[in-house]
Structure 1
Amino acid sequence: MGLTSTAVLTSAVLLAVALFTGTVWLWPRLAGRSWRAVTGRIGLLLATQLAVFASVGLAANQAFGFYATWADLFGRETSPGVVVDHDPAGGGSPVDLRGTRPVNVPGGDRPSIGGQIQRVVVSGEESDIASPAYVYLPPEYFQPRYKRRTFPVSVVLTGYPGTAEALIKGLHYPQTVHQQAKRGLMQPMILVMMRPTVAPPRDTECVDVPGGPQAETFFAKDLPRAISAHYRTGRTAGSWGVIGDSTGGYCALKLAMHHPGAYAAGVGLSAYYKAPIDVTTGDLFHGDEESERRADLMWYLDRMPPPKTSLLVTTSKQGEDNYADTEKFIGKVKPPTRVSSITLDSGGHNFNTWRREIPAAMEWMSGRLNGKQA
């Protein structure tokens, strides 16, 4: 059974309830001072507490998507990514379809009504990285009257060490854009949902690491090229945006700023503005001071020509650590870069806050991207 499966969570909760009940039932029999009675009480208390902690941890992981598998949880997922050989004659597809699933909306079992979520692996020719993703296709994608239409695309990134599954189950991106489009608040849009960790378990911060994973190249060049070759998407930057939370928010802003020729808009939900260096990232720059400075978005706004792109940043006056930095970031933006913001009175660095921001953020994104009827 998988780490995020309902069966595992249910089993843990039932075990915790059974141990709690057993402790209450057996406590009078273990009330003596003998070593057996004391050992029994200690054992029951420890077992009950461990079961409760496990249940809470599993529930939190399922809600917030910190770890996807047991290997991910215990640090056994150490593969640095997959090198893919490509047929120069074009015989292989950069997008490998692994399965489909319905969208959790009324009528979601029919793609022409609810759309469809496809599980894929995207291969990057220039970065030599292959990474899993979920692609949401809106209902219009399957309707005959839109068969010649190209659709705008939003790349959606989790935080670290989040999972792409959490973007569907925890943050409800497909359901949100489906409902917003149905209400006429935004245009139908393709979502490419992934985590920024393309070389798990390392947190690459969407950086081209010297001698290591070329994460920025993958997201800026390989991903748009691969998705456009496989789906009916717009081919220009005006049809592409990127949104993310926390680490994914930093990546989204950086990609839009560094690569306005690839992304016309970037949204950072509770983003920070400089790549951290810690035990999860390792040495990202290997002494390349220019790359390290460029990864500092405040420095970039001060020293580099302002990119022609649109940015949206979110924060909270209470509960977020990035409020002051976000205000500072907004103040540094110069034309032709455009900046917008969402500031909540209160809200922590969590899924509940981001769910409050996503509908408005996706409506904003839709207004800055274009689809086209051929």
Structure 2
Amino acid sequence: MSLTGTPFLVTLGVLCAVAVALPLALWSRVPGPRAARAAARLAMLLFVQATAVALVFTLVNNSNQLYDNWEDLLGTGDHVRTAADLGASGTGGIAVETLPRVRQTFEPGRGPGMRAEGGVLVTRLDGRVSGVHAEVNVWLPPQYDDPAYREHRFPVVELLPGYPGSSKAWFGSMDATEQLAPLMRAGRIEPFILISPRTNLLPGADTGCANVAGRVNADTWLSVDVPKMVMDNFRALPAPDGWAVAGYSAGAHCAAKLAVAHPDRYRAAVSLSGYNDPASEAGSLASRTPALRAANDPYVLLTRSPAPPPIALYLSGQPGDGYEAAQALDRAARPPTRVDVVFVPGSAGGHTMALWKPQVVPAFQWLSEVMTAEDAPRATPLARSSAGSTHAEPASGTAWPAAAARRP
């Protein structure tokens, strides 16, 4: 039975109701000696507690899409087949452009949000360079099958969840396609191809989107193998000008790091409540050694770069949760690096989907501004205002409220 499926949730609901009814009906009717009666009553109470905790956990998990299946929850899933030392380039000297074309088959995705706005396609990819074997979700914009766009190639945004987090979360909990598709049809934002690869690759470990020889090549999986597959199977613009990466929480850290580390692969990054130092995420493999920690810290990479990378960064955060890290990157940046920092007030809520979901539209508006489509007019910008903010709309919708404004 699927961890995130309706049958499992209904079963837990029924068990929870039964668990509450049992002591009400049997408490005074339990037979046997005193010790046996006490044990039976304790078992009924524990049954109530266990079913209630399981139901609440499942509701929270389904809402935030933290664990996609039982393997993820139990820490038994391993999606790494090999983890060779690929060197500083992350390719091990392989000329990726000379590799054979990746031919993939796709099937309709299942789960919350996966059927909305044309549906999400899912494939399982064997990463030829990274050694990772995992799923990749692909959503095509409304214009993709329009005959008028048959020669058009589309910009791509790679979407990364937090840790733990499901590769489906951007389509389910974040409602990305339902928010963006109407604006794409109206020409208000660019028609992006959205891809969301698995980032939970090792049992019970946050890879930090890093290459760790002998353990995992998560960076290469995300920045080499997945983009090649997309380019080989869809009408996607080439890197770097046609590619961006976006994430929230741990995925936000990864987004900024990937863009700063690989300006030859990405033109822009969106980071929602991210951090710079990999050690900010307890247990991150990217913080195992000082060298790994520095190699996966976007601030360190930016300050040590021989030349400022030609990338754009959208960084949003609250005080104590991403804002200071964004300011640090802003201070370190030099042209042509562009950094736009969005301050989100603490009153907007905590480190949850409810904070990040309203930021999807303004983030993609920004992406439409910094990334130019190959053969179509630029999207019409959404109107901005300096109207006062409310608790429910930090830097969201069609406004940039004064209390959630882009900071220079």
Same fold (TM over 0.5): yes
Q: Distance in 1 between matches of 2:112 and 2:180?
A: 12
Structure 2 equivalent of residue 315 of structure 1: 317
Note if 1:306 corresponds to 2:314.
Answer: no
1:67 aligns with 2:67: yes
**Quick one: which amino acid aligns to residue 15 of structure 2?**
L
The CA distance in 2 between the partners of 1:297 and 1:132, in whole Å, is 26
Q: State TM-score, norm by structure 1.
A: 0.86
Q: In the alignment, does 2:333 pair up with 1:325?
A: no
Residues 177 and 82 of structure 1: is their aligned pair in 2 closer, same or farther, counting only changes over 3 Å?
A: farther
1:167–1:214: structure 2 CA closer, same or farther, 3 Å change rule?
A: same
Partner of 1:161: 164
Rate the CA distance shift 1:43–1:206 in 2: closer, same or farther, 3 A.
same
Tell me whether 267-276 or 33-42 shows the greater mean CA deviation.
33-42
Deviations 1:200-223 (A, max 9, x none): 543221112123322222322232
Given candidates 220, 224, 246, the residue that maps to 2:223 is 220
Contact 1:159 1:195 in 2 (8 A): no
CA deviation after TM superposition for structure 1 residue 53, in Å: 0.3
Q: Is 1:99 the counterpart of 2:107 in the alignment?
A: yes
Is the alpha carbon distance of 1:151 and 1:75 closer, same or farther for their aligned partners in structure 2, counting shifts above 3 Å?
A: same
Alignment of 1:29-178 (within 5 A): 29=29, 34-81=34-81, 93-101=101-109, 114-178=117-181
Matched with 1:342 is: 342
Listed one character per residue, the Cα deviations across residues 73-115 of structure 1 (whole Å, up to 9, x for unaligned) are 11221342479xxxx9x9975252241259989xx78xxxx43
Identity %: 27
Flag the 1:191–1:345 CA change in 2: closer, same or farther, 3 A: same
- Tell me how far 1:309 sits from its aligned partner: 0.2
What amino acid does structure 2 have at the position aligned with 1:49? Q
The amino acid across from 2:126 in the alignment is S
2:360 to 358, 361, 370: 358
Distance across 2 between alignment mates of 1:233 and 1:302: 32
Deviates more, 1:256-265 or 1:214-223: 214-223
Counterparts of residues 203-352 of structure 1 (less than 5 Å)? 203-276=206-279, 280-282=283-285, 284=286, 289-304=290-305, 305-317=307-319, 321-346=321-346, 347-352=349-354
Alignment-mate amino acid for residue 299 of structure 1: V
> Match of 1:203, SS?
coil
* Distance of aligned partners of 1:95 and 1:192 in 2 relative to their CA distance in 1, 3 Å threshold: farther
d(CA) in 1 for partners of 2:161, 2:283: 16
Structure 1 window deviating more from structure 2 (25-34 vs 243-252): it is: 25-34
> Are 2:14 and 1:14 equivalent residues in the alignment?
yes
Counterpart contact for 2:154–2:374, Cα < 8 Å: yes
Shift of 1:67: 1.4
Residue 180 of structure 1: how far off its partner (Å): 2.5
Q: Which has the higher strand share?
A: 1
Could you tell me which residue of structure 2 aligns to residue 24 of structure 1?
24
Q: Counterparts of 1:74 and 1:101 in 2: how far apart (Å)?
A: 23
Task: Rate the CA distance shift 1:81–1:246 in 2: closer, same or farther, 3 A.
Answer: farther
Q: Is the partner of 2:350 in helix, strand or coil?
A: coil
Distance in 2 of aligned mates of 1:203 and 1:146: 40
The worse-fitting range, judged by mean Cα deviation, of 55-64 and 221-230 is: 221-230
Task: Look up the SS of the partner of 1:298 in the other structure.
Answer: helix
Q: 3-state DSSP class of the match of 2:136?
A: strand
Deviation per residue, 1:233-270 (Å, 9 max, x gap):
11131111000111111111011111111111001111
Cα distance change of structure 1 residues 33 and 351 upon mapping to structure 2, 3 Å threshold: farther
Task: After TM superposition, list the pairs within 5 Å mapping 1:175-186 onto structure 2.
Answer: 175-186=178-189
Give 3-state SS (helix, strand or coil) of 2:8's partner.
helix
Report the more deviating stretch, 46-55 or 231-240: 231-240
Structure 1 residue 139, shift from structure 2 partner: 1.8
1:373 is aligned with what amino acid?
A: D
Q: Does 1:4 align with 2:13?
A: no
SS in 2 for 1:167: coil
One-letter amino acid of the counterpart of residue 185, structure 1: R
Q: Name the SS for the 2:11 alignment partner.
A: helix
The answer to whether the Cα contact below 8 Å between 1:116 and 1:139 also exists between their aligned partners in 2 is no
Q: 2:313 corresponds to which letter in structure 1?
A: L
d(CA) in 2 for partners of 1:218 and 1:194?
9
> Given residue 301 of structure 2, which amino acid in structure 1 is its aligned partner?
Y
| Pair 41,327 (structure 1): closer, same or farther in 2 beyond 3 Å | same
Note closer, same or farther for the CA distance 1:183–1:343 as it changes in structure 2 (3 Å cut): farther
* CA shift digits 1:130-152 (9 cap, x unpaired): 33111001121111111111011
Segments of structure 2 that go 5 or more residues without pairing to the other structure are: 84-95, 377-408
Q: CA deviation at 1:3?
A: 0.9
SS in 2 for 1:141: coil
- Which of the residues 187, 197, 200 maps onto 1:197? 200
Asked whether the equivalents of residues 261 and 298 of structure 2 are also in contact (C-alpha less than 8 Å), the reply is no
2-structure distance, mates of 1:325, 1:279: 17
For residues 207 and 354 of structure 1, what CA distance do their matches in structure 2 show? Answer: 24
Q: Deviations over 1:2-56 (max 9, x none)?
A: 1111110111011101211222233344699933332232121110110000000
Aligned AA for 1:48? V
**What TM-score, normalized by structure 2, do the two folds share?**
0.80
Residues 81, 131 of structure 1: 8 Å contact kept: no
Q: Say if 1:103 and 1:175, in contact at 8 Å, map to a contact too.
A: no
